[in-house]
Amino acid sequence: MAILDIQIVATSLPTIQSALDIGADQMIWIQTAYLTAEIVAIPLTGFLTARLGMRWLFVSAVAVFTIASVGCSESQTFASLIAWRIVQGFAGGTLIPAVFSAVFLLFPQRSQGIATTIAGVAAVFAPTVGPIVGGWITETYSWHWLFRINVLPGILAAVGAAVTLRGAASNMRSVRTVDAAALTLLAVGLTALQIGLKDAPTDGWLAPNVAALLLGFMVCAVLFVWRTARSGGPLVELRCFKDRNFAIGCALSFILGVGLFGSTYLMPFFLGLVREHDALRIGEIMLVTGIAQLIAAPVAVYLEQRVGARSLTVFGFVLFAAGLLMSTNQTAQTDFAEMLLPQVLRGVATMFCLLPPTRMALGRLSPELVADGSGLFNLMRNLGGAIGLALIDTTIFSRAATYGARIVEELKAGNIETAVRIGIPRDAFLEQLGIPPDEFTQEMIRPLVERQALVEAINDAWLLIGVLTALAVILVFFVRRMPTQNTGDIDGDGVPSR
């Protein structure tokens, strides 16, 4: 519910804009409000788990998320929609890490692989099916049902958790005081970062407003770490980072966020602006990734219980990087057939990039640190996504202008290959050589130039996140070896140790 909600709403923003008469420059806040509240809530999961217990934290978060969904669906103004999206985002932000911490607190070690897979499939499958679900709901019903579909599963999940989660582990609490100053620093800092990253691609990274926001984030981060280190009952247990595997696992989660968020952003961006597909068709094309994830999930569980986490992580990130880099040669004619294999590789790889690093990061933590660790681990993935999207947008905006100017110069120089590549018939171009183009001809050529420039800029963005993902492999070699779940292999090389 929490992850799917981001994607299905994204596909229907134009419909919501028209219904509530929202300005084009304000539309981004429908998503930014949710994501900002979510990114503030995620690291607080450990604190909230300690105060409420896992059972009542989950029940409360689901209940609030469901109520906020109803509020969103019944909103008549932009302001009320944004207010409910903030509440919804905060509740959703606590749900995601709560599920992953439950894996390590409520399940024996032999079952953690399967439990992680179920949670992981939900986490990565939702962004893939989001476009097709959102497009179908909007076309079949109305935008209000984007939020109303959360009501019934929300009620069932809240009641089900309240009735069934009665064990000691799910109701365990501890005394942790509210550090108002640390909470303020955390909220202000992460909000400044999220808004700064949103504005950076369009306003420029050195623009006064962006620079002020990013500087504010850094100041808040330093003060938050300083205050947390001095606190006897910290708001967030940063001592999780003393475990080397946890720190490396968080770095891998950050890079995975760049690749996951980046690929689920670039595909609809390309298919919508270049191929001019509607939301439903985009969703149908992207469904390949989700199907590959589902097929790979049981294989990943089987191997994760028998092969070392380091080996599987290397395999996953190498395969994911290959899937990203295969998209760097797209043309204006690229469509489903050309996108099939890269999507399959990324879908299969995702499960190997998620399961072993999750166990790597959280499997060695003491029980009292797991909830905090899960919050920080998931926060890093979301931060990776936020920073990755900002870098992608910056790459596209800056490189598209450069490529556009270069294409124009090549056309003026009479480069036939460039003319054919952007879609100008060879004979028509040869007839115009040496003749200054009139206004009509310029208007006919301009969309072709802009489209080709956009394609090449998008390819650069694929290259950026592909290279970053490939570099993640280096981190894996610094991980302390861990035992596999069924073999007693303390070396993590797949060979049982004596």
For the chain, report the end-to-end CA distance as a whole number of angstroms. Answer: 45
Decide if 1-176 and 243-498 have a common fold: yes
H or E element, residue 332 = none
Greater model confidence, 251 or 483: 251
163 contact partners, CB below 8 Å, separation of at least 6: none
State pLDDT tens for residues 116-171: 778 777 777 777 777 778 778 877 888 888 899 999 999 999 999 999 888 766 77
Kindly state the average pLDDT of the residues 399-403.
91
* C-alpha dist (Å) from residue 160 to 21, 151, 155, 173: 39, 14, 8, 20
The pLDDT assigned to 358 comes to 87
State pLDDT tens for residues 293-338: 888 888 888 887 778 888 999 999 999 999 999 999 999 999 999 9
Distance CA 120, CA 124 (A): 6
Per-domain residue ranges of the chain: 1-176, 178-234, 243-498
Greater model confidence, 449 or 135: 449
Residue 438 has pLDDT above 70, yes or no: no
Residue 81 has pLDDT above 70, yes or no: yes
Distance CA 210, CA 200 (A): 6
* Largest Cα–Cα separation, the chain: 83
The pLDDT assigned to 439 comes to 67
Buried b / exposed e along 21-54 (16+ C-beta atoms within 10 A): ebeeeebebbbbbbbbbbbbbbbbbbbbbbbbbb
Q: What is the pTM of this model?
A: 0.84
How would CATH label the architecture of 1-176? Answer: Up-down Bundle (1.20)
The pLDDT assigned to 301 comes to 80
Distance CA 344, CA 291 (A): 8
* C-alpha dist (Å) from residue 434 to 176, 346, 415, 427, 430: 77, 47, 12, 14, 9
User: If 0-12 CB within 10 Å is exposed, 13-18 middle and 19+ buried, where does residue 341 land?
Assistant: middle
Residue 70 has pLDDT above 90, yes or no: yes
Alpha carbon 271 to its chain's center: 19
Distance CA 389, CA 201 (A): 9
User: If 0-12 CB within 10 Å is exposed, 13-18 middle and 19+ buried, where does residue 408 land?
Assistant: middle
CATH superfamily of 243-498: MFS general substrate transporter like domains (1.20.1250.20)
Q: What percent of the chain has pLDDT over 90?
A: 35
Kindly state the average pLDDT of the residues 185-199.
90
What are residue 66's phi and psi, to 5 degrees?
-65, -45
